[in-house]
């Protein structure tokens, strides 16, 4: 039996099981039917693992059976342990799983920054296209007065915690747009990445022309070393969702979309946590105006720790037997 024949022969049963799993209230007959379907689909999974190892259909059936286990075998909640497991295993493992779309997202972001930087550097008026009005006027004022970047200098100390959470919320919304707009075949995600890259590149060009590039870069990278990577990862999650629509493989497009969305959603919660750390740094540490070498030291430490963290995710992807190709886990 080929993969296509296997899917066509059993698709109706799988769809019915998914429909029952999606119900919040089930009749007695539906509960019995769900148990019977669970047994049959478990057999399908066993056959797929033997005959179609590594195929999309095997990944899909593993996800369905995992949902059944979560319903039938509810374990005692251990929130602290789950949180630790998420950040120690699941989140870095998912980023490793989505390495290609994350790298594409980072590349698009970096190229957007570079293009905007070169365009504004050659013609300062181009900054008006890339920057919001108030940001453009502030940058021009600093350029004309030859002032150092001072956007954070006037924040009252008692307001800095509130500012941190506002920044976190704003960046979280940007990441949410990156994730949700993946449904537009990834075009909306690319737009968000390019737009934010253009803004950063234009600002960098203005302060380069002002002769304050070291001060500017060291200042924003205290938090940006985490924030920019987090947004790029969110962009990768959005592109992963879009890829399900463009290239669903041998699974129906809706099922592939569900699987990719589960992976992307797991990454999104990790991104929100990274952005919280970045927001705290931006609201509490950046306004201190530390010496330049201290700022670069913080930036380097952030990049080193994140690099080691995601290398750990790649190692998990290759060595952890519990980590499935779709980023999900076998129940114990």
pLDDT-wise least confident of 41-45, 216-220, 285-289: 285-289
Model pLDDT for residues 95-134, shown as the tens digit of each residue:
988 999 999 999 999 999 999 999 999 988 888 888 887 7
Q: What is the dihedral of CA 65, 71, 72, 75, to 10 degrees?
A: 110
pLDDT-wise least confident of 59-73, 77-91, 191-205, 206-220: 77-91
CA-based angle 80:83:85, to the nearest 5?
110
Number of other CB atoms surrounding residue 225 within 10 Å: 22
Q: Pick left, alpha or beta for residue 225 (phi over 0 → left; psi -120 to 50 → alpha; otherwise beta).
A: alpha
Higher pLDDT, 5 or 190: 190
Query: CA end-to-end span of the chain, whole Å?
Result: 31
Query: What is the structure's pLDDT at 74?
Result: 58
Distance CA 73, CA 227 (A): 38
Per DSSP, the chain holds a count of helices (H) and strands (E) of: 13, 0
List b or e across 290-322, with b for residues whose CB sees 16 or more CB atoms inside 10 angstroms.
Answer: beeeebbebbeebeeebeeebebbeebbeeeee
Distance CA 142, CA 136 (A): 10
Residue 202's contacts (CB-CB under 8 Å, 6 or more residues apart) are 116, 117, 119, 120, 126, 127, 130, 131, 139
Distance CA 130, CA 112 (A): 11
**Do residues 147 and 244 lie in contact, with contact meaning Cβ atoms separated by under 8 Å?**
no
Provide the token pair at 241.
């969702």
Looking at the chain, how many residues does it have? 332
Distance CA 211, CA 214 (A): 8
Chain mean pLDDT for the chain:
82
Provide the token pair at 15.
């769809």
Distance CA 42, CA 246 (A): 29
Provide the token pair at 290.
């530390």
- Is the pLDDT at 308 greater than 50? The verdict is yes
- Is the pLDDT at 206 greater than 50? The verdict is yes
Distance CA 314, CA 319 (A): 9
pLDDT-wise least confident of 61-70, 163-172, 244-253, 280-289: 163-172
Task: Give, in order, the Cα–Cα distances in Å from 123 to each of 148, 197, 202, 209, 283.
Answer: 21, 18, 10, 11, 32
Distance CA 253, CA 263 (A): 16
Distance CA 310, CA 288 (A): 29
Residue 329 DSSP label: B
Query: What is the structure's pLDDT at 236?
Result: 94
Q: Summarize the confidence of residues 25-53 as an average pLDDT.
A: 86
List b or e across 28-64, with b for residues whose CB sees 16 or more CB atoms inside 10 angstroms.
Answer: eeeeeebeebbeebeebbeebeeebeebbbbbbbbbb
Model pLDDT for residues 210-268, shown as the tens digit of each residue:
777 888 888 889 989 999 999 999 999 999 999 999 888 878 888 888 888 888 888 98
């Amino acid at each position: 039996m080929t993969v296509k024949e296997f899917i066509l022969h059993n698709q109706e049963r799988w769809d019915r099981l998914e429909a029952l799993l999606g119900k919040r209230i089930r009749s007695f007959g539906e509960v019995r039917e769900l148990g019977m379907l669970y047994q049959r689909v478990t057999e399908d999974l066993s056959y797929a693992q033997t005959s179609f190892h590594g195929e999309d259909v095997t990944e899909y059936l593993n996800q369905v059976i995992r949902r059944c286990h979560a319903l039938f075998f509810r374990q005692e909640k251990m929130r602290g342990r789950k949180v630790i497991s998420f950040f120690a295993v699941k989140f870095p493992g998912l980023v490793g799983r989505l390495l290609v779309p994350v790298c594409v997202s980072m590349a698009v972001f970096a190229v957007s920054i570079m293009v905007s930087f070169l365009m504004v550097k050659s013609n300062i008026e181009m900054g008006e296209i890339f920057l919001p009005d108030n940001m453009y006027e502030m940058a021009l004022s600093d350029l004309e007065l030859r002032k150092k970047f001072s956007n954070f200098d006037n924040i009252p100390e008692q307001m800095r915690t509130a500012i941190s959470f506002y920044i976190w919320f704003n960046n979280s919304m940007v990441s949410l747009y990156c994730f949700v707009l993946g449904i537009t075949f990834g075009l909306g995600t690319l737009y968000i990445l390019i737009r934010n890259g253009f803004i950063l590149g234009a600002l960098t060009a203005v302060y380069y022309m002002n002769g304050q590039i070291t001060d500017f870069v060291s200042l924003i990278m205290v938090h940006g070393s985490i924030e920019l990577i987090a947004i790029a990862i969110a962009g990768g999650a959005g592109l992963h969702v879009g890829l399900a629509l463009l290239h669903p493989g041998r699974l129906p497009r809706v099922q592939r979309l569900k699987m990719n969305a589960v992976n992307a959603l797991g990454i999104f919660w990790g991104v929100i946590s990274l952005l919280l750390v970045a927001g705290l740094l931006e609201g509490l540490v950046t306004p201190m105006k530390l010496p330049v070498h201290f700022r670069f030291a913080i930036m380097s430490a952030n990049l080193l720790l994140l690099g080691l963290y995601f290398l750990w995710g790649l190692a998990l992807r290759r060595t952890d037997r519990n980590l499935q190709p779709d980023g999900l886990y076998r129940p114990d």
